[in-house]
Chain A
Amino acid sequence: MNAPISIPETVPDNTNRLAAIAAGEPFTSEIHPELDQEQSCLETRNFNLHYGAKQALFDINFKVPKGKVTALVGPSGCGKSTLLRCVNRINDLIDIVKIDGEMTLEGDSIYAPGVDVIELRKRMGMVFQKPNPFPMSIYENVVYSLRIDGENNKKVLDEVCERSLRGGAIWDEVKDRLHESALGLSGGQQQRLCIARAIAAEPEVLLMDEPCSALDPIATLKIENLLEDLKGQYTVFIVTHNMQQASRASDYTAFMYLGRLIEYGPTPTIFQKPHLQETLDYVTGRFG
C-alpha cells in the first residue's frame, strides 16, 4: 500500500462521494464477488427503514453467509444497530418505525404479513450492547428460552445449561453457583452469560449488537476469544465499533455510512485492499 501517494489523489474524490451520499444521491453498494459463492442465511432486498419522517436505512441489499461471522462496521448513527435489530424485529417495539422492502431468513420472509414474530425470534439469539441478565438465577437465565417454551424436564434443562455455559466460556466460573442471582456477576461474566443464553436455544443466527462496548479490555478479550470459538458453529452477525475486533474475529465485513451499505466483502480484503477509498479511510481511522 502506498498510502502517502494515494491520499492526496483520492481525498477530493472521496469527500465528493460522501457529500453526494449526504445529499441523498443514489448510491450502489460495492459487493465483492466472493459473497456470491456463499450459501446465504439472511438476505435483504431494497430494505428501507424510517423513524417517523427520518429515513435511517436506504435500499439495503445484502446477505449474511451461513456458518460465517459477518461484521458490520461504520461510524456512530450509520444505522448498523438499526439494521441488526430489524432482523429479529425488536424494532417493532418502537411505534414510529416503518419498514419496506424484504428480508428473509433461510428463505422465509421476516416482514410478510401474518408472520408469527415470536416463532421467528425463537430461531435467533441476540446479545445486546449492555449485558442484560434477567433478575433470576444464572441457571434460570440460561434456560429461559426453554422455560418459555414450557420445557420443565430437569435433565434436559441441566444438559442445555451446561452445554450453553460451556459454549459461552463461563461454565468453569459459575458451575458452583448456578442457583445464585445472575446480577451478582461481573460485567464481562454477565455478557458471556447473555451469550450462553442466546445460544441455548440453538439459534439459526446469532445477532450481536456491539457486545463489548460496555466492557473493560480483559473482558473484551475473553469475548473475542469466545467469538473465535463460535466461528463455524453458528452464523454470527455482529455490529462493532472496534476495527481490530472486526478484522480478527470476522469472515466478512460490511461498511455502512449514513444508512447506506457502502462496501461488503471478505474481511482481509476490506481491511487491506478495499475497492473503495472511503472504506480504506474508515478502516484505517482517517474519518469516522
Chain B
Amino acid sequence: MNDTQTSSDKQSSVPATRRRISSPAASLISRAEPALWLTGGSMVLCMVMIISLLSFVFYNGTKTFWPVPIVEATLHDGTVHMGEVTRRGTFIPPASRLDEMPESFRKVVEDNDGEASRKLIRTGNFRVSGEHFNWVADFEVAEGGLKEPEWAVLLERLTWGRFYGTPLKFQIGEEVVADTPEATWEQFKSHHGEVRERRERRRKLEKKGLGKLNHAMEKRRLAIRQTELEFGKDSDEYRKVVEDNRQPLDTLSQKYDALVKEIQALDQENARFVMTMQTASGQDVDIHVSEIVRAYPANRLNAGNKVGIYISRWIEYLTSEPREANSEGGVWPAIFGTVLMTLIMALLVSPIGVLAALYLREYAKPGPIVTVVRIAINNLAGVPSIVFGVFGLGFFCYIMGGTIDEIFFSEKLPSPTFGTGGILWAALTLALLTLPVVIVATEEALAAVPNSMREGSYACGASKWQTIKRIVIPRAMPGVMTGMILSMARGAGEVAPLMLVGAVKLAPELPFDSYAPFLHLERSFMHLGFHIYDLGFQSQNSEAAKPMVYTTTFLLILIIFLLNLTGVGIRAKLKKRFKGSAV
C-alpha cells in the first residue's frame, strides 16, 4: 500500500510534460499518408491490370456469337465481296495503288501520313473463291458500292465453313418448289427442321447403333486373339473359340449391314432437299439442306431474332462437338475433359498432399532433414511445368502404362491402351505439379490448430492418431480446402504438360460412355487450355478461329471460377461449423 503511494507521488512530482511540436513533414510520415498512397496505389494497379484483362476477355469472348449485318462491297474493278465485317484497320498502300485511286481519296490518305483505312470482310465461300477472308481498302470501293442487301443469307455448314449468298431456288427431288429469294427462304424454313431431325437420327444410328455393334464384334475378336496368344493357332481351344464365335459374329455383321442400309435410306431422303444459292460474284451453288447447321438473313433480323441466334449459338457451342478443325461447332468434349481431369486431379492430390503434410507437421521431429524436405517441396513448385509433362510421359505413360498394357491388355498390342497419353496420366502429372500447393497450404492450416486443443484431446486419453483424426483434421479442413482450391485453379489452367500426356486436338470419344467400365481413364481427352492453343496457333483458318479463342478463354476462366466458387462455398460451410472459436 505504502509502495504504491510513493510511486504515484513520484509520478506527480515530474514536471508537466512538454507539448511535442513536430514538423509538417514528420506529421505526414507519422500519419502514414505516404504509406496509404503507396499501398493503395499498388492495390489499384493490381486491380486495373486484372480488371482490364478480364473485361477484354469478357468483351471479346461474349460478342463472338452476336449476328452482325452482311455487307456487299463492289470495287472499282467490278469485284464484289459479300460478308461480315470482322475487323477494321489501317495500312500503307504501295505507291502504284495510290496512283490508281481517285484524287479525293488520295488526298485523304496523304493527309493521314500515307495510311489508308481498310476492312476485313469474312467472305466465306472457300470452295468458290479459295479465300475465307478478304481485306477491302476503303478507296477500292466504287462510288455507292457498299450496300447491305436485303436477302443476303448466311449459312453455317457442317463442312467447308460459312457460305454467304442469296437464295435462288429450292428443289425437292426434281421438282423446283420455289424460285424467288423470299419463297426459297420460306421453303428452307419449313423443311430445315425435318431434314436436321433426320440427320440427327442418322448420326445417332451411326454413333450408338453401329458403335454398339462394333464394340460387341471387337470384344469377340479380342477373345479370339487372346486365345490365340495363349494356346497358339493350332490348338483345340483356338478352334473351339473360333467356332463358338462364328455364329454370333455373323449375326452381328448382318445387323450391321441392316443398320448401314437404314442410314443410307435416311441419307437418300435428305439428299432430295437442295437449296441453290447465288454468290455475290454471280455463281450458283447447290447446297444440301442437310449440310446446313444454321441459316439466317442477316439484314432482315429484328432484335428478337438476333438474341435467338445468339442464344442458339451459345447452346451449340456449349453442347456440341467441334467441326472444321475446331474453329466451328462446340467445345463440349473440351469442357467435359477439363472438368473431369481437374476433378480426378483433385481427388488424387488431396489425400496424398494432406497425408504428407500431416506427417511433416504432426509426426516428423523438426530437424535438418525435415527442413530439407520442406525446401525440396517448395522447389518442386518452381519446376517448369513442361518438365512435369516430360516426366509424366516417360514415367506414367511409358513405364507404368506400358507395364499395365503388357500385363492386362496384351491382346491389343501393339496398339497401346494405357501405354500412351490418357486422362489418368494427365491427372497424375498435374497432381504431382500441384502437390506442393496442397502440402504447403495444409501444413499452414495444421500449424494454425491451437495446441490447447491437441493437449485437451491428449488429456482425455486420446492417442495421437485419434487426436489428428477427430480434432486436428476437422479444425484444419477449411485451410485444406484453400489448398485444394488453389491446386484446382492451377491445374485447370495448365496446358504445357498436358500436351505430352494426353490432351489432344480432337478426341474421338469422351472418356465417359455407356460401355463398362463407363469411365475410360486410358482415353485421350480434349482440354480447353489446349483448345485455346490449338485454335490460336495451329488453325489453318486463324482469322475465323480468333474470336473463338476469346470465347474459349472466357469459358475456361468461367469454369475455373465456378470450380473455385464451389470450393469456397464448401470452405465457408466448414468455417461456419467452427465459428466463434475463441481459442
* A positions within 8 Å CB-CB of B: 88, 90, 93, 95, 118-119, 121-122, 124-126, 128, 130-136, 144-145, 147-149, 181, 183-185, 187, 190, 194, 197-198, 201, 207
Q: How many residues of B contact A (CB 8 A)?
A: 26
Contact of A181 with B460 in the complex, beta carbons under 8 Å: no
| Partner among A95, A126, A184 whose Cβ is within 8 Å of the Cβ of B459 | A126
Pair count A-B, CB < 8 A: 90
Binds A, one of B418-426, B470-478, B498-506: B470-478
Interface centre among B456, B466, B470 (most CB of A within 10 A): B456
Q: Give the nearest-CB partner of B461 in chain A.
A: A122
Closest CB in chain A relative to B73 CB, distance in Å: 71
Contact of A183 with B461 in the complex, beta carbons under 8 Å: no
CB of B144 within 8 Å of the partner chain: no
Contact of B458 with A181 in the complex, beta carbons under 8 Å: no
Q: Which residues of B contact A181 (CB under 8 A)?
A: 577-580
Contact of A132 with B461 in the complex, beta carbons under 8 Å: no
Contact of A125 with B462 in the complex, beta carbons under 8 Å: no
* A184–B577 CA distance with the chains assembled, in angstroms: 10
Q: Which residues of B contact A147 (CB under 8 A)?
A: 470
* A121–B471 CA distance with the chains assembled, in angstroms: 17
Contact of A190 with B582 in the complex, beta carbons under 8 Å: yes
* A12–B207 CA distance with the chains assembled, in angstroms: 104
Contact of A183 with B459 in the complex, beta carbons under 8 Å: no
Q: Enumerate B492-527 residues with CB–CB distance to A below 8 Å.
A: none
| Partner among B456, B460, B583 whose Cβ is within 8 Å of the Cβ of A148 | B460
Contact of B578 with A88 in the complex, beta carbons under 8 Å: no
* A185–B581 CA distance with the chains assembled, in angstroms: 9
Q: Which residues of A contact B458 (CB under 8 A)?
A: 90, 93, 121
Given contacts A148-B466, A184-B580, contact A135 B459 (CB under 8 A): no
Q: 9 new A-B pairs (CB below 8 Å) besides A88-B459, A183-B582, A187-B582?
A: A121-B460, A122-B461, A125-B459, A132-B450, A135-B474, A144-B462, A148-B462, A181-B579, A190-B582
Contact of A183 with B580 in the complex, beta carbons under 8 Å: yes
Q: Which residues of A contact B456 (CB under 8 A)?
A: 126, 128, 132-134, 194, 197
**Binary flags per residue of B431-462, CB closer than 8 Å to A gives 1, else 0:** 00000000000000000001011111111111
Q: Which residues of B contact A93 (CB under 8 A)?
A: 454-455, 458
Contact of A131 with B583 in the complex, beta carbons under 8 Å: yes
Q: Give the nearest-CB partner of B455 in chain A.
A: A90
Q: Which residues of A contact B579 (CB under 8 A)?
A: 181, 183-184
Closest CB in chain B relative to A211 CB, distance in Å: 13
* A183–B460 CA distance with the chains assembled, in angstroms: 18
Contact of A132 with B577 in the complex, beta carbons under 8 Å: no
Q: Which residues of B contact A131 (CB under 8 A)?
A: 582-583
Closest CB in chain A relative to B469 CB, distance in Å: 10
Q: Which residues of B contact A190 (CB under 8 A)?
A: 582
Given contacts A90-B459, A126-B459, contact A134 B583 (CB under 8 A): no
Closest CB in chain B relative to A116 CB, distance in Å: 10
Closest CB in chain A relative to B348 CB, distance in Å: 27
* A193–B462 CA distance with the chains assembled, in angstroms: 18
Contact of A134 with B457 in the complex, beta carbons under 8 Å: yes
Closest CB in chain B relative to A109 CB, distance in Å: 18
Closest CB in chain A relative to B5 CB, distance in Å: 15
Q: Which residues of A contact B455 (CB under 8 A)?
A: 90, 93, 128, 132
* A198–B454 CA distance with the chains assembled, in angstroms: 14
Contact of A183 with B462 in the complex, beta carbons under 8 Å: no
Closest CB in chain B relative to A94 CB, distance in Å: 10
28 contacts between A and B (CB under 8 A): A88-B459, A90-B455, A93-B454, A118-B461, A119-B461, A121-B461, A122-B460, A125-B459, A126-B459, A128-B452, A128-B456, A130-B583, A131-B583, A132-B455, A132-B583, A133-B583, A134-B453, A134-B470, A135-B578, A135-B581, A136-B470, A148-B470, A181-B577, A181-B579, A185-B580, A190-B582, A194-B456, A198-B459
| Partner among B365, B457, B460 whose Cβ is within 8 Å of the Cβ of A95 | B365
**Binary flags per residue of B567-580, CB closer than 8 Å to A gives 1, else 0:** 00000000001111
Q: Which residues of B contact A132 (CB under 8 A)?
A: 450, 452-453, 455-456, 583
* A85–B311 CA distance with the chains assembled, in angstroms: 70
Contact of A144 with B460 in the complex, beta carbons under 8 Å: yes
Q: Which residues of A contact B214 (CB under 8 A)?
A: none
Given contacts A90-B455, A184-B580, A187-B582, contact A134 B461 (CB under 8 A): no
* A134–B146 CA distance with the chains assembled, in angstroms: 77
* A134–B474 CA distance with the chains assembled, in angstroms: 10
Contact of A201 with B460 in the complex, beta carbons under 8 Å: yes
CB of B27 within 8 Å of the partner chain: no
